[in-house]
Amino acid sequence: MLTTTLQEIFKRDLQKLKTEIEAYQDETNLWAIDRSVTNSAGNLCLHLIGNLNHFIGAQFGKTGYLRDRPLEFSDKDVPREILIQKINATIDVVDASLAKITESQLQEDYPLIVMDEKKSTEYFLIHLAAHLSYHLGQINYHRRLLD
């Protein structure tokens, strides 16, 4: 079933996010920006955590998570240890939430209109996995360029 595959992909990529955050030699560089690199790795990490907790955890896991998207990009200098704790918690929430989705739910419309039109849950979950992968790549380049 697709949800089992998505559980594996999200867990793999969130583990890789944790590895990337841990790989910064200088923790302050998590928050570094440059004229051509305007989002820090720390803020991208917070963004991914907020995104997945909102779109998967709150919608399917009924976690009650309330997203503050602007804070994901304005918060600074969150300790690496806290980021790692948040990633670990997100792994658990995403895994448990995806486990609740039935095959028939995948074909239904995703509960929120996100991209200006209704999309199936299946489509949107694949989109979220691609979104995670996209920002994970940005964090990898950020680390190699600015750390």
Domain count, the chain: 1
Tell me the pTM.
Answer: 0.97
Query: Which pLDDT value is given to residue 142?
Result: 97
Domain that holds residue 64: 2-146
What pLDDT shows up at residue 35? Answer: 87
pLDDT band at 104 (very low <50, low <70, confident <90, very high): very high
Q: For 56-91, how does the pLDDT look when each residue is reduced to its tens digit (9 = 90+)?
A: 999 999 999 999 999 999 999 999 999 999 999 999
* Model pLDDT, residue 129: 98
Helices 121-146 and 2-23 pack at an angle, to 10 degrees, of 20
